[in-house]
Amino acid sequence: MRFDEYRRHDALGLAGLVRRGEVTAGELLDLAVARLDAVDGALGIVGVREEAAARARLDAGPPDGAFRGVPYLFKDLFAFEAGRPLTNGSRLFEGFVAPSTSTYIARTLAAGLVPFAKSRAPELGLNLATEPRLHGPTRNPWDRGRSAGGSSGGAAAAVAAGVVPMAHATDGGGSIRVPAAACGLFGLKPSRGRNPMGPFIGEAWNGLACPHCVARSVRDGAALLDATAGPEPGDPYACPPPERPFLAELGRDPPPLRVALVAERPGGGVVHPDAEAAVEGAGALLEDLGHRVEPWTLPFAADELETVLLDIITSNLAADLGFWAGVLKRPLDASTLEACTLALLRRGRDLPAVRLQAAIGRMHGMGRALGNAFQTFDVILQPTLALPPPPIGWLDQDGDPDAFAARSREFCPFTALYNMTGLPAASLPLYWNGAGLPIGVMAAAALGKEGLLFSLAGQLERARPWFDRVPAG
């Protein structure tokens, strides 16, 4: 198989070739490694390479799951696999080896995927760009002077560049959807409680964060969620079970839907013309497909969203880093952490417990408000990002904390709402601007309604195909 043939298939397609004996898993791994070798120097995709472990896994025979023998990347951010290195994008974790395997990672491996490296993430997943001081920046395959997004930027760059057709990603404030939008991919954040977080982690950031993937095809995302979803003993949240397998949703168009179109920032304020054009174009496409689209305004102020988000993240960060400093026997200072991480750590340490409790209560109030909105609408449609992918260095986690906060707010005002409310949301690559940069559009649904989003995404993928739209090089 040649690289151009490899790139013509999604992950399920490659697994089908392996299952039929038309190609071996070893040959696929060779192609993925060769492609990584060809582009990693220019793009900065991975932080940890593990080809020897991948070949040992193939020698033992990968499980006969839906993705049997398909090369894969785990994200270098708390992806616990026993005996494997994990840096979390930080000098604090240099040399750390995971002591155990998480339930989610075990389910991913049982699906037959073959991880051979860990994709870069910003320090502790705290940036909407991927430019850790430990490894250096991840660059966008569509324009190497621009960011691939974050915090799953290495994963998105790998998929867009053709290293793998799908890669592990996580999302605590937009970290699946942001890089999917920046790199022209499909990326769905599942409902709170859909995928397990344990047994080491009970909940991540008070329920803000969850794992899934970025992918070139909708069906790969659906099939992977079929393989990983479901509770484990002791889960703190329960998610409504799906009506049918998520992959089965792609065989049907959704019924006519009531769609709320949001084109302004929370609390008002314009987005970049590219973002407005993307969401308005998606709304027009939905109308052509028979759905009812009407303008709507989010019932939240931007400063309220930001305060709640920061109160929850920084208090969790302070607790988590206190734990890890004890485990790793390392200081929490400029020798181990970047400047903005330290600023967030100080904020979290100073935050009273009553303020955290109030933030959690306000977060749940947001969930109830959006839950009520979904009594009127089936889907909320909005830009994934307010700006096109920014230049490398624009979101500098090791720079001025005030500038970092202001630019993060300007770039990404939409995605974190669905982490706070726990609702599923997906970024779809439906628009490219005049400079050839992908501009994502985000669709969100009620709790547990990933099936509806997969059905709608499949309809949009058929109406405006994007799979063969790949960056040059």
| Contact indicator for 126, 340 with CB cutoff of 8 Å | yes
CB atoms within 10 A of CB 465: 9
d(CA 81, CA 245): 27
How many CB atoms within 10 Å of residue 312?
26
Clarify whether 175 is annotated catalytic: yes
Q: Determine the Cα–Cα distance for residues 397 and 147; give it in Å rounded to an integer.
A: 13
**Which segments of 68-218 are extended strands (E)?**
71-75, 114-119, 139-140, 143-147, 166-171, 186-189, 210-215
Among residues 456, 450, 443, 454, which one has the least CA distance to residue 193? 450
* DSSP letter, residue 53: H
User: Could you say which of 102, 119, 152, 175 is catalytic?
Assistant: 175
Is residue 112 within 8 A of residue 172, CB to CB? The reply is no
Whether 427 is a known active-site residue: answer no
Measure the CA–CA gap between 216 and 385, rounded to whole angstroms.
Answer: 19
- Which of 237, 168, 170, 169 has its CA nearest to residue 203? 237
The one catalytic residue among 90, 119, 151, 408: 151
Contacts of 91 (CB under 8 A, 6+ apart): 133, 134, 335, 336, 337
Scan for tokens 């102020």, then name that residue: 301
Cα 252 from chain centroid?
Answer: 25
Could you give phi then psi for residue 438, rounded to 5 degrees? -70, 140
Tell me which DSSP letter residue 248 carries.
Answer: G
What is the Cα Rg of the chain in Å?
20
How far is C-alpha 201 from the geometric centre of its chain's CA atoms? 18
Q: Do 373 and 380 touch, CB atoms closer than 8 A?
A: yes
End-to-end Cα separation, the chain, in angstroms: 19
Q: Which candidate in 75, 118, 189, 449 is catalytic?
A: 75
Whole-Å CA distances, 101 to 84, 181, 467: 9, 30, 33
CA-closest candidate to residue 473, choices 210, 189, 14, 139: 139
Query: How far is 122 from 245, CA to CA, in rounded Å?
Result: 33
C-alpha–C-alpha distance, residues 422 and 223, integer Å? 21
Do 31 and 5 touch, CB atoms closer than 8 A? no
State both tokens at 336.
């181990």
Q: What is the DSSP string of 20-74?
A: TTSS-HHHHHHHHHHHHHHHHHHH--EEEE-HHHHHHHHHH----STTTT-EEEE
189 is catalytic: no
List residues with catalytic annotation: 75, 151, 175
